[in-house]
């Protein structure tokens, strides 16, 4: 299903006419019609706004990706700038480019070891995430929030103080319709590639083995596998 058909599906599901959606998007109904018929496609800012208005994920709008389980399974590998640039060329040629975004993540530590809260500012979206780290995966729950600044005030009032901020420019790709590949340029840390499972078809252990094979298929050096999250590296540098 093309992105235009998903817009039609979601617009009707939300009981909106083309004119209704156009009004909420501050565009003309001809623009909506052009997207839905496939003559043109919305840019990333429009996709972010569509996801908010149509109550769906960016991933579903772009490639039909359903929401994943409340588990995050990924590997992260450090790169040189040359490796980063070479991979960007390779991925642009051999995979489906999804989007380029700037993430500003503020982390808050709670009183549970290996767990943290994060407010992510990404375009017009603000996302609150809770993560609990296991060996090869994380429990992860996310919810979209309207006002990140007010949530920050609430956290501080509850004694949850920010401990670090991670800023990164990210280019996202879909690989084999299952893996999200992100090339990250992280402020103060450098270059990384992150490969995350978006569709789970077997148990976590076998999924992780397949994930390692994907890294090998991309000729990545697993000896450079990052052993920590960006947050941990930032805290180490403080």
| Residue 137 reports pLDDT greater than 60 | yes
Which three-class secondary structure state does DSSP give residue 199? coil
My answer on whether 55 and 78 are in the same domain is no
Per-residue pLDDT, 237: 87
| Residue 207 reports pLDDT greater than 90 | no
My answer on whether 117 and 92 are in the same domain is yes
Q: Nearest-CA neighbor of 109 among 130, 137, 140, 136? A: 130
Counting residues of the chain whose pLDDT is more than 90, the rounded percentage is: 63
My answer on whether 95 and 188 are in the same domain is yes
pLDDT averaged over the chain?
Answer: 89
CB atoms within 10 A of CB 102: 12
What mean pLDDT comes out for the span 177-184?
Answer: 94
Domain that holds residue 57: 3-63
Q: What is the CATH number of the domain that holds 47?
A: 1.10.260.40
Under the banding of pLDDT at 50, 70 and 90, the label for residue 168 is: very high
Q: Which of 44-58, 120-134, 199-213 has the highest mean pLDDT?
A: 120-134
My answer on whether 59 and 175 are in the same domain is no
My answer on whether 106 and 51 are in the same domain is no
| Residue 3 reports pLDDT greater than 50 | yes
My answer on whether 128 and 211 are in the same domain is yes
My answer on whether 10 and 96 are in the same domain is no
Under the banding of pLDDT at 50, 70 and 90, the label for residue 67 is: very low
What's the predicted TM-score (pTM) here?
A: 0.70
| Residue 81 reports pLDDT greater than 90 | yes
Q: Structurally, how many domains does the chain consist of?
A: 2
Q: Of the residues 63, 79, 104, which one is the last residue of a structural domain? A: 63
My answer on whether 204 and 97 are in the same domain is yes
| Residue 64 reports pLDDT greater than 90 | no
My answer on whether 112 and 218 are in the same domain is yes
Q: What is the CATH number of the domain that holds 116?
A: 2.40.320.10
What mean pLDDT comes out for the span 23-42?
Answer: 94
| Residue 60 reports pLDDT greater than 90 | no
Q: Of the residues 45, 63, 81, which one is the last residue of a structural domain? A: 63
Tokens read off for 40:
């043109």
Residues 6+ apart with CB under 8 A from 63: 96, 98, 174, 177
State the Cα–Cα distance between residues 32 and 162, nearest whole angstrom: 41
């Amino acid at each position: 299903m093309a992105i235009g058909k998903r817009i039609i599906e979601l617009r009707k599901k939300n009981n909106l006419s083309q004119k209704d959606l156009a009004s909420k998007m501050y565009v003309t109904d001809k623009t909506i019609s052009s997207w839905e018929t496939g003559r043109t496609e919305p840019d990333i800012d429009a996709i972010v706004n569509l996801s908010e208005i149509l109550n769906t994920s960016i991933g579903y709008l772009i490639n039909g990706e359903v929401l994943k389980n409340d588990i995050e399974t990924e590997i992260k590998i450090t790169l040189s700038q040359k490796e980063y640039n070479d991979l960007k060329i390779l991925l642009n040629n051999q995979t489906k480019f999804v989007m380029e975004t700037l993430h500003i993540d503020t982390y808050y530590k709670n009183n549970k070891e290996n767990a943290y809260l994060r407010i992510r500012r990404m375009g017009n979206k603000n996302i609150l995430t809770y993560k609990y780290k296991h060996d090869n995966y994380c429990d992860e729950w996310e919810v979209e929030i309207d006002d990140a600044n007010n949530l920050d005030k609430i956290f501080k009032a509850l004694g949850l103080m920010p401990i670090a901020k991670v800023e990164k420019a990210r280019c996202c790709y879909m690989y084999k319709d299952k893996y999200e590949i992100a090339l990250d340029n992280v402020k103060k840390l450098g270059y990384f590639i992150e490969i995350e499972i978006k569709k789970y078809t077997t148990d976590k252990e076998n999924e992780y083995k397949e994930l390692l094979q994907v890294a090998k298929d991309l000729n990545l050096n697993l000896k450079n596998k990052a052993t920590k999250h960006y947050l941990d590296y930032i805290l180490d540098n403080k």
